[in-house]
Amino acid sequence: MATVTEAEPLFADPRERPFTARQLLELDACTRCGECLRACDSFRVKGDEGVSLMGMIRRRRQLFREDRSLLRRLFHRDGRDASEDAWSRYQQGVFDCTLCGRCEVYCPVGIRTRDLAIAMRQELATARCMLPQNLDRARDAVLEEGNIFGYPNEERALWAEFLEDLPADLLNKERADVLYFVGCVSSFSPAVQEIPQAFLRVLLKAGIDVGLLAGEEWCCGFPLIVGGLAKDAEQVIRRNIERLHRFGAKTVVFNCPSCYCAWRRYYPLDGVRLMHSAEFIAELVHSGRLKFRPPDAAVTYHDPCDLGRGLGVYDAPREVLRALAGEAYVELTPSRERALCCGGGGDVEIWDPELVGEVNSMLTSAVDKSGAQVVVQGCPQCKRTTQRGLSAKGSAVRTMDIAELALEYGTFTIGAADDSRPSSFER
């Protein structure tokens, strides 16, 4: 297991180097073809091109041009910066992006749109001190309390205390084979606390030696990284890694794709297996330890952005759902790489909560059209926004996390694992 020393920075200092060479090249590669506008749900809602990647690139290029123009170099060598209004319009668009990454799939020239948008946020937040005020508070909450909500972190595992069948020592365990990293939203948001409750039960029913960090678990750092505050995220990342080492687990499981994405992409770890709940449940199905009784409703699946486009996990949840529902599984349109955004990503809820609901309404319309009675998701934030959106529309469609589904329809067999069947999710 790799150790991280204080001397090793995890992220470049954006004040010195806001954009990489690749990203500066990408600014030039954009042809303003507008394909990203077709993909952008924030643009459809706002009607402002500046929230799309094309608009962000166009505005940033304009700001670069103003800074580097010949006239400026001749007459304003140390003069004024580009107008504050221009910067502020640019900032509004950059922070209204949900970072869903749909535009990356549509972009014909292969621009890594999410990374570019995050770099733009980093530059604004750090090099230009233009972090939106609410994000400022969220950062303080993470760094002072250890969670994005600013609640006392000791209350992080309150959701588990409501479980009647919880083993007495679970919350006091100091070592376990598997660490369940719950994440802030699942831990603190009452609307989705059924998810960790269900997934923990799944883990226990499957006979897994699992433990929680409870109040010692801190925010994964993802909201800070995507908010443009990667340097601030370093300290929570180091803290979580240090707790993991102390816990001695060789596998970490997540029900939150953003936490999973943060750990997979930004945590310098060797020899530790990281798995999302959908992948874990798919393995149980493959090994024969989990069997389903058929559901009484048609089900569909919504790909969370960070799990699908972010990490390429599309097949594991579908294998679970096909094993469960067979013909009663219907594919959402659009799905997989082109799946719609729930609106809850990219810290937009902190900065522009109204936008979340409006973006989400496109997803709920697609869910309604699918004819399914249950929409399965693999993300607490997606579930939170979607159930709110469906209920606002008066829709009867039920939202469920994949772990809740496994618990409700699954039968677990401990010790009867058919290990001869290869798991397609082994890494």
Residues of this chain that interact with other proteins (CB under 8 A) are 17-22, 24-26, 28-35, 37-38, 49, 54, 64, 68, 106, 108-112, 279, 311-313, 315-316, 424-425, 427
Choice between 323 and 330, CB closer to other proteins: 323
Choice between 54 and 355, CB closer to other proteins: 54
Choice between 54 and 320, CB closer to other proteins: 54
Identify the three-state secondary structure at position 180.
strand
Q: What is the Cα 155 distance to its own chain's centre?
A: 22
| Residue 158: CB minimum distance to other proteins, A | 32
| Residue 119: CB minimum distance to other proteins, A | 11
Number of helices (H), then strands (E), belonging to the chain: the values are: 21, 10
Rounded CA separation 382/389 (Å): 10
| Residue 318: CB minimum distance to other proteins, A | 13
**Would you mind telling me the total number of residues written for the chain in this entry?**
427
- 311, 263 Cβ separation under 8 angstroms: no
Choice between 139 and 318, CB closer to other proteins: 318
Instruction: Please report which helix (H) or strand (E) contains residue 331, including its range.
Output: strand 329-331
| Residue 313: CB minimum distance to other proteins, A | 5
Give, as one character, the DSSP assignment of residue 373: S
Rounded CA separation 141/299 (Å): 37
- 277, 283 Cβ separation under 8 angstroms: no
Residue found by looking up tokens 């729930």 in the block: 342
| Residue 23: CB minimum distance to other proteins, A | 9
| Residue 28: CB minimum distance to other proteins, A | 4
| Residue 340: CB minimum distance to other proteins, A | 17
- 159, 191 Cβ separation under 8 angstroms: no
Choice between 44 and 239, CB closer to other proteins: 44
| Residue 109: CB minimum distance to other proteins, A | 4
Tokens encoding 111? 């621009």
Choice between 49 and 234, CB closer to other proteins: 49
| Per-residue 3-state assignment (H helix, E strand, C coil) for 11-59 | CCCCCCCCCCHHHHHHHHHCCCCCHHHHHCHHHHHHCCHHHCHHHHHHH
Per DSSP, the residues of 158-176 read HHHHT-TT--TTGGG-S--
Choice between 41 and 194, CB closer to other proteins: 41
| Residue 371: CB minimum distance to other proteins, A | 27
Choice between 20 and 413, CB closer to other proteins: 20
Instruction: Please report which helix (H) or strand (E) contains residue 255, including its range.
Output: none
> Which distant-in-sequence residues (6+ apart) come within 8 Å of 75 by Cβ?
none
Tokens encoding 78? 């140390």
- 53, 116 Cβ separation under 8 angstroms: yes
> How far is residue 249 from each of residues 211, 220, 261, 406, measured CA to CA in Å?
9, 17, 19, 24
Choice between 21 and 129, CB closer to other proteins: 21
